[in-house]
Amino acid sequence: MNALEIRGLTKEYKDFKLDSLDLTLPAGCILGLIGENGAGKTTTIKAVLDIVKADSGEVTLLGRSREEIASNKEDLGIVLGEPGLSGCLTAAQVDRIMEGIFSHWETETFAKLAEQLDLPMNKKFKELSQGNRMKLGIAVAMSHGAKLLLLDEPTNGLDPVARDKVMNLLMEFTRDEDHAVLISSHIVSDLEKVCDYIAFLHEGKLMLCEEKDRLVAEYGVLHCRRENLEAIDPAAVIGCTDSVYGVSAVVKRDAVPEGWSLSPVSLEDLFVVMVKGA
Amino acid sequence: MQGLLRKDLYMAKSYLRTTAVAIAVFLVLGALMDGLQWYFYTAILIAGLVPVSMLSYDEAEKWPAYADTLPVTAKDLVMEKYLLGLLFSAAGTILSTFSAGINAALHPGVPFSPLTTAGVFFCMSLMGSVLLLPVIFKFGREKGRILYYLLFGLLFGVAGAFGMFNKVPGMSGLDPVIGIPVVAILWVLSQGLSIRMYEKREF
C-alpha cells in the first residue's frame, strides 16, 4: 500500500506555480523532497494537507482523500517549520495540551523523545532556541501514534548532532512497515542518509523522483579532460564544472565507455547540476 | 476542545495578570464608591473580552497555522473561543454581581436584585465576544483591535445615553428576561458566522 499518492497536483499563485506534481510514497519508506528555497516544497505539503486549496489534482493519504484527512489528522504527524505555540508555554504544558487534542496522545513517548533530543521540559517556548523549538514540534508530531509524517524542513536550526538524532528517529519510525515519512529539506546530506526515495523539485516542477540507490547506481562523476567528455553522448551528460585540471561531469554511467573510472555521485552534486542545467 | 481550552487557560494565566488586577480594582471600587457603579460594568466587559485577547495572541504567535496541522477543525477552534468567553463571562458576572451586592449593602436605599443584575451583566459581557469574534476571525487582530476600542466607546456611549451609570445596580431600564434569550440567539448566530469566516481563511 502507498502511504501517499499525489497525481497532477497544481497550485498557482501570482508569481509561482506548483505544476502538475506526481509523487508516490510507499509505506515503510522515507521520501526526501529536495529543492531550493521557493521551489515549492512547503506549497506541496500544504496542498497535500488541504491547508492551501489546490487548483487541481488528486491526493490520497493512507488510503484516504485529502478532504477526509483534513477533518481527521490523528494519523498524521506534521511539522511545518516552527510550531506556532505561545511564548509562555513550556514543553510540559504542551504535553498536557496535546493530551486533550490527540485521542492517542502518548505522554511517555513525548517525555522519552524530549529526553533523547535534550529538550528542556520547563523552559518557556519564547526562551527556547530555534533548534529546540523545532525539536518540540518534532516530538509532538511523533508522540500520538502517527502513521505518516509530513515534515517540512524539520532540521532547520538544528546542530549536526541533533540533526543526526532526528534522522535516526525517522529511520527507527519507518522500521514499522505501516509507517512512512515525507521530508523536505535543502540540507541534502541529511536526506541522503535516510531516504529510500528522492524527489527533486525546481521552480514548482518535479525534475525526478527515483529510488535513491537507483540514482546512485545510474549516475557517476567523471573527471576528465574537456575533449574526452566530448566523446560521450551529450544526452548522457547531466552537467559539468570546469577546473584547471579538466572537467568534473555528472554522467549516466551506462553511456561511459568501459574502462573509464567514475566516482560515486552525491545527491547534492546531482541536484546542483540538474538545477543549473534546467 | 479540552486541549484548546487548556492552552488558552495557560495563556490567560500568564498574559492576563495585569487584566486580572485591573478587574479586581474595578470590582472593589465599584463595590465601595457611591454613584460610580460603572466600575463593575467595566470589570464585566473586560472579563467578557478575554477570548478576543486570546485570539489576538494566537494570531501574533502563528497558532492558526500550527492548529491546521493538528486534529482540530475550524468548528473546534471557533467554538472553544466562545466557550472561553462563556466561562469568563460567567466568572465576571458572579464577581460583578457580588461587587454590586456590596455596593447596595453599603448604600441603603439602593434596590438590588441579584438575579436581575447577574442576568444583565451576563448579557453585557457576552456581547463582547458575540460582536468582535466574527470580525477578528474575518479581518484579523489589527482591525479587531480598532473595533475593540470602538465597541468600548459604543457600549459606554449607550450606557451613558440611558443614564445607566447613575442608576442603581439592578438597572431597572434593562430586562434580562428578554435580554438573555436575545443574547443567546446572537451568541449562536455569531458562532456560525465565525466558523464560516475561519473556514475561508488560508494560513
Q: What residue spans define the domains of chain B?
A: 2-199
pLDDT at A254: 85
**Residue whose C-alpha cell reads 475550524 in the numeric block:** B74
Closest approach of chain A CAs to the CA of B71, in angstroms?
5
* Per-residue confidence band for B59, with pLDDT thresholds at 50, 70 and 90: confident
**Shortest distance, CA A19 to any CA of chain B (angstroms):** 20
A214 Cβ contact list (under 8 Å, min separation 6): none
Question: What's the average model confidence in pLDDT over B5-24?
Answer: 88
> Are B3 and A85 a contacting pair at CB < 8 A?
no
Q: Which residue has the higher pLDDT, B7 or B165?
A: B7
> Would you give the DSSP letter of residue A257?
P
Pairing of strands A2-12, A56-61: antiparallel
Asked if B102 and B110 count as a contact pair (C-beta separation under 8 A), the reply is no
Cα distance between residue B124 and residue B122, in whole Å: 6
Cα–Cα distance list, B115 to A144, B51, B130, B174, B175 (Å): 46, 25, 22, 13, 11
| Per-residue pLDDT at A72 | 78
CA–CA dist A200, A210 (Å, integer): 9
Average pLDDT rounded to a whole number, residues B2-24: 89
Which pTM value belongs to this model? Answer: 0.84
Low-confidence ranges of chain A (pLDDT < 70): 277-278
Minimal Cα–Cα distance from A59 to chain B, Å?
A: 17
SS3 B173: coil
How far away is chain B from the Cα of A264, in angstroms, using its nearest Cα? 39
User: What pLDDT sits at residue A267?
Assistant: 86
Helix (H, G, I), strand (E, B) or coil at A231: coil
Cross-chain Cβ contact B11/A72 below 8 Å? no
| Contacting residues of B for A74, CB less than 8 Å apart | 71
Residue contact B11–A51, C-beta within 8 A: no
B42 contacts: CB under 8 Å, gap ≥ 6? B26, B30
**CB pair distance less than 8 Å for B69 and A73:** yes
Residue B110 has pLDDT above 90, yes or no: no
Tell me the C-alpha distance between B37 and B29, whole Å: 8
What one-character DSSP code corresponds to residue B11? H
Q: Residue A176: which residues within 8 A CB-CB, separation 6 or more?
A: A28
**Range list of H helices, chain B:** 2-15, 17-32, 38-48, 50-60, 63-67, 74-106, 114-139, 141-161, 176-200
Please give the share of chain B, as a percent, with pLDDT higher than 70: 85
Looking at residue A68, what is its pLDDT?
A: 80
- Alpha carbon distances (Å) from A33 to A27, A109, A153, A182, A277: 16, 27, 10, 7, 19
A76, A84, A101: residue with CB nearest B72? A101
Query: Mutate which of B70, B75, B76, B84 to disrupt the A interface (most A C-beta within 10 Å)?
Result: B70
Nearest Cβ partner for B63 among A72, A84, A100: A84
Q: Is A212 helix (H, G, I), strand (E, B) or coil?
A: helix
CB contact under 8 A, B66 and A87: no
Q: Which stretch of DSSP H or E encloses residue A268?
A: helix A267-277
The per-residue DSSP string of A76-130 comes to EEEEESS----TT-BHHHHHHHHHTT-TT--HHHHHHHHHHTT--SSSBGGGS-H
Instruction: Calculate how close chain A gets to B28, using CA atoms only, in Å.
Output: 29
When comparing pLDDT for A142 and B164, which is higher? Answer: A142
Q: What pLDDT was estimated at residue B170?
A: 46
**Predicted confidence band of residue B164 (pLDDT cuts 50, 70, 90):** low
Q: Across the interface, do B5 and A49 touch by the CB < 8 Å criterion? A: no
Closest-CA residue of chain B to A98: B3
Sort out which chain A residues have CB atoms less than 8 A from B14's CB and list them: 86, 88
Chain B positions touching A96 (Cβ under 8 A) are 3, 6
pLDDT on residue A127:
94
What is d(CA B180, CA B186) in angstroms, rounded to the nearest whole number? 10
Query: For residue B79, what pLDDT is reported?
Result: 94
For all residues of chain B together, what is the average pLDDT? 81
Q: Which residue of A has its CA nearest to B59?
A: A84
Give the per-residue pLDDT at B203. Answer: 56
Chain B contact residues (CB < 8 Å to A): 1-7, 10-11, 14-15, 57-58, 61-73, 202-203
Confidence of residue B168 (pLDDT cuts 50, 70, 90): very low
